Structure 1
Amino acid sequence: MTNLTLSAITDPSDNPLKVDPVKLRDVIVKHHVGSIQNVVKHAYSLEEWHKLINEIQKVSLTETRLKIPFLYCIDAVHGTNFTLNSTLFPHNLGLAATRNPELVKLCAEITAKEVRASGIRYNFSPVLDVGRQPLWPRFPETFGEDVLISTIMGVASIKGYEGKSLNDFASVASCMKHFVGYSVPANGKDRAAAYIPEINLREYFLPPFKAAVDAGSHTLMVNSGEVNGTPVHASRYLLTDVLRNELNYKGIIITDWEDIKKLTERHRVAENHKEAVYLSVNAGIDMCIVPFDFSFYEDLIALVKEGRIKEERINESVKRILDLKFDLGIFERPYVEKEAVKNFGLPEYKQAALAAARESITLLKNADQVLPLEKNKKVLVVGPYANSLTALNGAWSYTWQGRKPEYFPKTDLTILEALKRKVGETNIVYKKDFKEIPSDVKPDYIIVTLGEDAYAETPGNTKSLELPSEDIEGVRNIVKMYPTIPLVYILTEGRPRLIREIEPHAKGVLMAYWPGSQGGNAVADVLYGDYNPSGKLPFTYPRYSGELMTYDHKWLDEAVEIVEPEYKYFYEFDPQYPFGFGLSYTSFELSNLKLSNDQLTGDSKIKVSVDVKNTGRKSGQETVELYSRDHFASVTPSVKRLRGFKKVELKPGETKTVEYEISASDLAFVGEDMKWITEPGAFDIMVGDLKVLLNYRRQ
């Protein structure tokens, strides 16, 4: 039940990685630790991983009483990010923009293959927290603000990681995290308090976890924060009553980093560590990421000897952990598997990373059809992120914070390098610093890279979503210097940084998110028209820091009343770019929205169909999103809710019919009794600007 970090058994110098035999035997033989995780400082080569894991495993199998093999765990959250020369994909936020669950599943499958090839069989991924607070520094790890997208993409990831069997050489155990409510801290900071009415907890935050449980995810990690005044690590209600009993979850519940200790140190619900262990194990914890010492081990044994925790309770957790090891084939094949190693670094992985990065890129503005750029024109490229691998890959990229480019593959290209390769060095002039813009360059276009560099977790806390003032001033100076030259912004960022003040200066805006190892090539392909963008925003891009509103807000959230000089009442919702927005280099037209029956009764289903036509001159992909709006309900309804999405590819002039199936459960909400209900009445069914009326009755 004890999980330690790698530094507990290694030499502090870590150059090269070296296991301390005395520490190793203290951990494995004397204290019977069953799992180890993480890296020390940075990613390792495949060979280093193999040597490390086989060395630990040999001690587990030959020097311990029961000869139980140990389990290695890792965070591989957008590719195998702690193995050198692996394939890194867009972060989940970018993957959500693809609206392509099969592509998300493929990225997870490749990640699983490279993780298992490293000798590791347990991956702390995916994040199922619904990203409804963009200040939160783990926002890029989410699939955005919508519960349906988070659910569908999360399940796709789990199926990709776990495959048909964990015993397969291409599979790893997934970990749905972080249960529950982690992503909406009241102060916007990491590991902070959230205040979530239970009706909202069940409506927006539980569904992805329920779907993940139903999909068979083997493990779950707990929210480091607290919900409504109770730390989740100490919440028997959430971990046992809800997770175990309601959702029928059978797998392992693992803590996050040092979070049992924090019940005393930060949350202050336990007067000492022993009481914290009692609270958490009683709540339902199976495995504790301690991660540096034996405090959990020692206090848990003491609690059992005192009779405060029953041995039967320990047996429950131990059985779950042993079951996972059996499922992963560690008892059969405890050492690094040669068959798995063959799956590392295959050429097609880069193509998948490129496809994911391309499909994620979201075209937010294209005034006067400035994009795609002409390849024979001169371009001035400005900004520090143009020549940065770290700003393309973000968090968890060969180091925890992702800020050390020396560990990236030498073949990965920055945006600048990809642009030069695309159109030739003579057509590209680069200036990193806004203050060094030359006045004698005669560019046809100016590309400005904006956003944010890599960060992970608490170091990524921010007090504002505003761009740095020097970037704003830099853009203004460029406009003064080159008032007639078209500007194009490329945004590489893990959350929406506000561009309100400078957006009018740009003809084009590309949202690249953190697009991963092939992000440079993908941006260049989109800029020059070798790929037609199809990404759709997975969140509402705010215009102001003080107005962070999701697309599925309530009517009252945008209601404005003015009493003087005369009474006025109106609705106001004006984000920079709305949820689901994303342009293309072609145009699409929606028509003929129809219901197979405008009366939905009981448990029956109806079909919704709509025609989508490519009315432009290029082939392109379009995501057709289906929304509903409940006219009236006993709990105030949202302005609209996403109920389905499908992506289609169309040649110029081609029309396809997109169909959905709707039942009463698709229109349900959580009622005042905390149960899902669909109430009789009228609903708008909407696709784009089209709308039809549907009436529901129970019988």
Structure 2
Amino acid sequence: MRKVLVGTVAAVVLASTATAVAVAASGDDSATESPAYLDASRPVAERVDDLLGRMSLADKVGQMTQVDRSAVADDPKALAEYRIGSVLSGGGSAPPNPEAEGWADMYDTFQRAALGSERKIPIIYGVDAVHGHNNVRGATIFPHNIGLGATRDPALVEEIGRATADEVAATGLDWNFAPCLCVARDDRWGRTYESFGEDPEIATAMTSYITGLQGQNVLATAKHYIGDGGTTGGDDQGDTRLSEADLKAIHLPPFAEAVRKGVGSVMVSFSSWNGQKAHGHKYLITDLLKGELAFTGFVVSDWAGIDQIDGARGFTAEEVRQGVNAGIDMVMVPEDYRQFTQLLTAEVEAGRVPVERIDDANRRILAKKFELGLFEHPYAERAPVGTPEHRALARRAVRQSQVLLKNDGNVLPLKKDSRIFVAGKNADDIGNQSGGWTMTWQGKSGPITPGTTILAGIREVAKNVTYDRGGEGIDGSYDVAVAVVGETPYAEYEGDRPGGLTLDQEDLQTLSRLNKAGIPVVVVLVSGRPLAVPASQALLAAWLPGTEGGGVADVLFGIAKPTGKLPVSWPATKDQQPVNKGDGKRPLFAYGHGLSY
């Protein structure tokens, strides 16, 4: 861990000091004494002022530019040439060696190149470690947010934030694009599992993740600002049509609490509010976030987000101008950094983007780099990932996230000496139980990273277990059947289901075979949202548990009692969307429902 603690910048970071201005005015980098900004004993505000005063427009524009690793992998020297401020790994953008060592090697290569610039300003590296360090093979994969919302346990989520920060920092990286504080109001949305739940109260409580992450000195990101969970029809990157009062009541509270907790960055949503893209919305970014909420960190765009302002492909000068003037401080390009830096430079030189706006953005970005200690400790501090301690924490999180929806005849908990038949495509598949944003952007079925499948967890407890994916071979001699069914991995956009939410044909056929055997059937649903499921004796919502499937088995056998409560309303039919607490509709299982033993 880097030893410097992350703190809030507050007003002092944005303030100027007369001394720093005087030093900056001299512009004398050739003085024998080290520049003030390299003196770690000085206050952050003074270091920022000193460095800012020495920077050219090219330096400043570069600091506002974030590129994906793939854009500079073959030419790391471009980081110094263009004074790039940040590198990121988009979903699945990984080094050739996806193990922790490969990530650390890559990070150090990029950092070494960036430090070759005249000002020697380190990069800050961002990654979507949204449920553990999920791009790194062998890392601990925690339940996705919807499962954590079911735990109703902010202290647990804070622990997960700390553990995730440990594994992120172990590979050198210093900035996590998490937590997602969206309030999902329509489960057809493909990012529902990234939400802690349908009520802003849950996401607000789970901002404890920020405390855990930043307490270990990895910068957190509150995303996606604002209203992405409220789009019409659950349309990804769609339009949230709400009054300002409703926007503030439903979607703003988690962000307000994130700011109160000192979150270092905020990412803007792809979505629109009443027809206007958030990436170009000055009221939302500057007036509301930076003004009314007094956010003092920096605002980052989403992947090529400003490119969507005019609805046409390709950056334009007008989009760059509108996005930066709206209040975006760092722009995730992520590939066309040459064109972006040229356009922004021209806009500043023409007076269409004020120098004051550029300086404000740089102050915010540089302050976080100083607070993180990047100038003093720029390289990876290598350590193991996927440790036994972190996997034990993840298993505990899986236990607490299980929601027992139905238990007719008290078929659960299972008896360890029962003759058990296990079926279903999600019983023995780490990729399926981990979901999207795992090793790749959309996720992938199969043994994509080390872990314990749900089937393996069951076999750890019971010895008389038969498994067949499709349910072939079952008969009445078994005491119980366990069907582990549900969704296969997806992420944003590709996960939208406007046609409704139900099981696929393979799952339906599997359940049909099991039900014909005339024995009790327990359905374990592995999914990122509620689905319509045929009748069974018991139904356990396992969500997307990650690599520690043993936690599901712990609940099935009563080693741990189910304590999870629904973070979303469970629809009565596949088409009953949207359905939310207090809307007058009657769901199959209400928000907050959850049985125990």
Q: What TM-score do the two structures reach when normalised by structure 2? A: 0.86
1:367 aligns with 2:367: no
Moved more, 314-323 or 37-46: 37-46
Match of 1:286 among 318, 329, 343: 329
Contact kept? 1:145, 1:550, Cα under 8 Å: no
Query: Which residue is 2:537 aligned to?
Result: 507
Contact kept? 1:264, 1:272, Cα under 8 Å: no
Match of 1:261 among 267, 286, 307: 307
- State the 1:373 CA deviation: 1.1
Of Structure 1 and Structure 2, the greater strand share is in: 1
CA separation in 1, counterparts of 2:270 and 2:577? 23
CA separation in 1, counterparts of 2:415 and 2:346? 72
- Percent of pairs identical after alignment? 37
Q: 1:35 to 1:404 in 2, by over 3 A?
A: farther
Query: Which residue is 1:408 aligned to?
Result: 449
Query: Which residue is 2:508 aligned to?
Result: 472
Match of 1:37 among 68, 84, 88: 88
CA separation in 1, counterparts of 2:93 and 2:360? 35
- SS in structure 2 opposite 1:356? helix
Match of 1:180 among 210, 213, 226: 226
Match of 1:226 among 269, 272, 296: 272
1:574 aligns with 2:586: yes
1:539-597 CA distance string (max 9 Å, x none): 1011124323544324xxx3xxxxxxxxxxxxxx4211111111111xxxxxxxxxxxx
Give 2:235's aligned amino acid. K
Match of 1:129 among 179, 182, 194: 182
- SS in structure 2 opposite 1:447? strand
Give 2:304's aligned amino acid. E
Query: Which residue is 2:254 aligned to?
Result: 208
1:548 aligns with 2:577: yes
CA separation in 1, counterparts of 2:325 and 2:483? 54
CA separation in 2, counterparts of 1:293 and 1:471? 44
1:2 aligns with 2:65: yes
Match of 2:112 among 58, 80, 96: 58
- State the 1:250 CA deviation: 1.1
Of Structure 1 and Structure 2, the greater helix share is in: 2
CA separation in 1, counterparts of 2:447 and 2:335? 28
1:220-269 CA distance string (max 9 Å, x none): 00010111010000101111111111111111100000111122345x9x
- State the 1:449 CA deviation: 1.6
CA separation in 2, counterparts of 1:385 and 1:50? 33
1:133-191 CA distance string (max 9 Å, x none): 111111111110111111011x211101111xxxxxx3200000000001122132211
Q: 1:547 to 1:259 in 2, by over 3 A?
A: same
CA separation in 2, counterparts of 1:489 and 1:406? 23
Give 1:291's aligned amino acid. P
Give 1:471's aligned amino acid. D
- State the 1:379 CA deviation: 1.3
- State the 1:42 CA deviation: 4.6
- State the 1:30 CA deviation: 2.0
Q: 1:441 to 1:414 in 2, by over 3 A?
A: farther
Alignment of 1:107-506 (within 5 A): 107-153=160-206, 155-163=207-215, 170-266=216-312, 273-294=316-337, 295-337=339-381, 341-342=382-383, 344-403=385-444, 405-409=446-450, 412-424=451-463, 427-434=464-471, 437-438=472-473, 440=475, 442-463=477-498, 464-479=500-515, 481-483=516-518, 485-499=519-533, 502-503=534-535, 506=536
CA separation in 1, counterparts of 2:385 and 2:458? 28
Query: Which residue is 1:47 aligned to?
Result: 101
- State the 1:528 CA deviation: 1.2
Q: 1:478 to 1:45 in 2, by over 3 A?
A: closer
Match of 1:537 among 535, 543, 566: 566
Contact kept? 2:445, 2:489, Cα under 8 Å: no
Contact kept? 2:427, 2:453, Cα under 8 Å: yes
Contact kept? 1:109, 1:171, Cα under 8 Å: no
Count of matched residue positions in the alignment of Structure 1 and Structure 2 = 529
- State the 1:369 CA deviation: 0.7
CA separation in 2, counterparts of 1:278 and 1:71? 24
- SS in structure 1 opposite 2:125? strand
Query: Which residue is 1:96 aligned to?
Result: 149
Contact kept? 2:264, 2:297, Cα under 8 Å: yes
CA separation in 1, counterparts of 2:137 and 2:403? 29
Query: Which residue is 2:33 aligned to?
Result: none
Q: 1:308 to 1:383 in 2, by over 3 A?
A: same
- State the 1:473 CA deviation: 4.3
- State the 1:381 CA deviation: 1.3
- SS in structure 2 opposite 1:102? helix
CA separation in 2, counterparts of 1:247 and 1:343? 38
CA separation in 2, counterparts of 1:549 and 1:462? 12
- State the 1:459 CA deviation: 1.7
- State the 1:441 CA deviation: 6.3
CA separation in 1, counterparts of 2:322 and 2:474? 66
Alignment of 1:592-607 (within 5 A): none
Q: Which structure has the larger Rg?
A: 1
Query: Which residue is 1:78 aligned to?
Result: 131
- SS in structure 1 opposite 2:310? helix
Give 1:416's aligned amino acid. L
Q: What TM-score do the two structures reach when normalised by structure 1? A: 0.73
Query: Which residue is 1:641 aligned to?
Result: none
Structure 2: which 5+ runs fail to align?
Answer: 1-63
- State the 1:476 CA deviation: 3.0
CA separation in 2, counterparts of 1:98 and 1:374? 25
CA separation in 1, counterparts of 2:474 and 2:428? 21
Structure 1: which 5+ runs fail to align?
Answer: 11-19, 164-169, 559-572, 586-699
